[in-house]
Homo-oligomer: A and B are copies of this chain.
């Protein structure tokens, strides 16, 4: 812990010095273990968001009481200090807003601070690396040379082949990741750099297949510069909204050059946790051969939009045409979309919708004619219950929106016909019968009925009991449709400890896969190294699906 910021007298009126002064006061309070003084440095409606640095969890506490509670349970162990402004992380937005750096007993962290009236309004603290387990990059990278006459030296290729032959057979991985989309791959890359033996299993043959198998006109929904994976940026010449097959090829090459143990054509059949041995038994079928893996940690990275929610309709068994879930459909559908920035990490979920509503109000106003035509055609338009739009829907329920690239016009002009405000009563051999009595002849039925909670994967792979113990994944407890309260503060069960020891959920879009894979990887690495990881604020379960 450094004391540079506490020693100097500070002129709080100079630019940037309000932050410096606050950090000095904060550090002094923490160093002297004066929790009341520390809590007194926050405004009444404050938020402190911690990603693993203080809590070994992903938690937002609210108000001085929340701060007091968190510090009371973590301060002695965390021993935070060395708080300074981190200008190198990006320019501060204003006098009262700064990127910061700090240290804990076991790691180094970065964060963000917003002041109001000289007190903290929002504080973000994140763990960036573990001391003594820093990633071997830049000035820490290996030389790649082994000088001298070493008769039985192994080349990189020989070592790589040996690992591929032995891991899972002769030796056991510390982590098994089920699912090799952007989530599994980004996490796998982090774990490789941290020296955590990992196998990623995916039922599809090649990395990227989870993109290749989606509908043909799919492109990125976020600009490509927001979607980088760790370690290798997308090139500057890539299309803003890059096409799915290009992303798929990138994921495939990424898995190769990041040296992941990626087991394609491998289905995870069954997993169970041995509470005594503190070990998973994971049965997989690799290229048709069943075998057992025994990792200490199991990560389900099967996708927050990976588990199709299928309706149960009368006649589904007699319909002779084709019927499939939208995720299997090669035509237009969208399963995620948002526009945000890394800085969003510093904005508490509790108030995020307040920033979103004016954006969607403006959109609504600008395209008012278009929306009127859509509604006239029967389109059941909504902007979310509080008009906070698509991004909040993504976080709250992961459904209820789509991104128009032309189909809306076809709806508005009648080329695509709607039957809205009705239910499907049943299917016949060659038609869909609606609750208003209409019969629609059909060759193909596509169920755009959304996705189930990720703990459904745990039910399939582990047991219904574990799925219920872990509870619903994703969503914030916003008390809106498909996201019942109470308020959780963070996405349920994502990238953090769950009620099932050694079971983790990883998912989300490319940005989330990059960003949160760091915190999940650090949690796994710490456990492998035997660093104590007492969890503050382990999430309670209010909903099982």
Chain A interface residues (CB < 8 Å from chain B): 135-138, 141-150, 153, 155-157, 160, 193, 216-217, 219-220, 224, 231-233, 235-243, 245-246, 249-250, 252-254, 256-258, 405-407, 409-410, 415
Of listed A153, A232, A409, residue having the most chain B CB within 10 A: A232
Closest Cβ neighbor of A218 among chain B residues: B155
Please give me the residue from chain B that is nearest to A156 by CB atom: B243
Chain B residues, Cβ within 8 Å of A231: 235-237
Q: Are A155 and B406 in contact (CB under 8 A)?
A: no
B242 and A249 contacting across the interface, CB-CB below 8 Å: no
Pairwise interchain contact B137-A237, C-beta atoms closer than 8 A: yes
| Pick from B136, B145, B148, B160: contact of A219, CB under 8 Å | B145
Judge whether B236 and A155 touch: CB under 8 Å: no
When C-beta atoms are compared, the residue in chain B nearest to A136 turns out to be B237
Q: How far is B249's CA from A258's CA once the two chains are assembled, in angstroms?
A: 10
Could you tell me the distance between the alpha carbons of A156 and B193 in the complex, rounded to whole angstroms?
A: 33
Other than the given A145-B239, A193-B237, A252-B253, 4 more pairs (CB < 8 A) read A144-B219, A148-B406, A231-B237, A249-B257
Copy count, this protein chain: 2
Cβ of A136: which chain B residues have Cβ within 8 Å of it?
Answer: 237
Known interface pairs A245-B155, A249-B256; A240-B149 also in contact (CB < 8 Å): no
> Is A241's CB under 8 angstroms from B193's CB?
no
Report whether over half of chain A's contact residues are helix, strand or loop; otherwise say mixed.
Answer: loop
Residues of B within 8 A of A232 (CB): 232-233, 235
CB distance B240 to A142 under 8 Å?
Answer: yes
Q: A143 CA to B156 CA in the complex, in Å?
A: 40
Q: Which of B135, B147, B149, B236 meets A137, CB within 8 Å? A: B236
How far, in angstroms, from A377 to B59 measured CA to CA in the complex? Answer: 68
Q: Which of chain B's residues have a CB closer than 8 A to the CB of A246?
A: 156, 257
Minimum C-beta distance from A275 to chain B (A):
36
Enumerate chain B residues within 8 angstroms of A253, measured Cβ to Cβ.
Answer: 252-254, 256-257
Q: Which residues of B lie under 8 Å from residue A219 when comparing CB positions? A: 144-145
Are B409 and A145 interface neighbours, CB within 8 A? no
- A410 and B135 contacting across the interface, CB-CB below 8 Å: no
A160, B216: Cα distance in complex, Å: 14
Complex partner residue of A144 from B138, B145, B242, B252, CB under 8 angstroms:
B242
Bound Cα distance from A217 to B277, whole angstroms? 42
Contact A144 B237 (CB under 8 A): no
* A415 surroundings in chain B (CB, below 8 A): 149
Cα distance A460–B242 when bound, in Å? Answer: 43
Q: Which residues of B contact A150 (CB under 8 A)?
A: 406
25 residue pairs A–B, Cβ–Cβ below 8 Å = A137-B235, A138-B236, A141-B236, A141-B238, A141-B240, A144-B224, A144-B239, A147-B405, A148-B409, A149-B406, A149-B410, A149-B415, A153-B217, A155-B216, A155-B245, A157-B216, A157-B245, A160-B245, A193-B237, A232-B233, A232-B235, A249-B256, A252-B253, A253-B253, A253-B256
In the complex, which residues of chain B have a beta carbon less than 8 angstroms from the beta carbon of A240?
A: 141-145
- Please give, as numbers and ranges, the residues of chain B lying within 8 Å of A257 by CB-CB distance: 235, 246, 249-250, 253
Residues in chain B near residue A148, CB distance under 8 A: 405-406, 409
Cα distance, A220 to B142, chains bound together (Å): 13
Q: Are B239 and A141 in contact (CB under 8 A)?
A: yes
A390, B254: Cα distance in complex, Å: 36
Q: Give A232 to B253 CA distance when docked, in angstroms.
A: 13
- CB pair B143–A237 under 8 Å, yes or no, is no
Contact of A220 among B138, B144, B217, B235 (CB under 8 A): B144
Residue in B closest to A416 when the chains form the complex, CB atoms: B149
Write the nearest CB–CB distance from A6 to chain B, whole angstroms: 33
CB distance from A245 to the nearest CB of B (A): 4
| Separation of A136 and B257 alpha carbons in the complex (Å) | 26
Task: Report the separation of the CA atoms of residues A153 and B219 in the bound assembly, to the nearest whole angstrom.
Answer: 14
Asked whether A145 and B249 contact (CB < 8 A) given A153-B217, A217-B155, the answer is no
Closest CB in chain B relative to A10 CB, distance in Å: 32
- What is the CA–CA distance of A145 and B237 in the complex, to the nearest angstrom? 15
Residues in B with CB closer than 8 Å to A144 are: 219-220, 224, 238-243
| A155 vs B219: C-alpha distance when bound (angstroms) | 10
Q: Please, which residues of chain B bring their CB within 8 A of the CB of A235?
A: 137, 231-232, 257-258
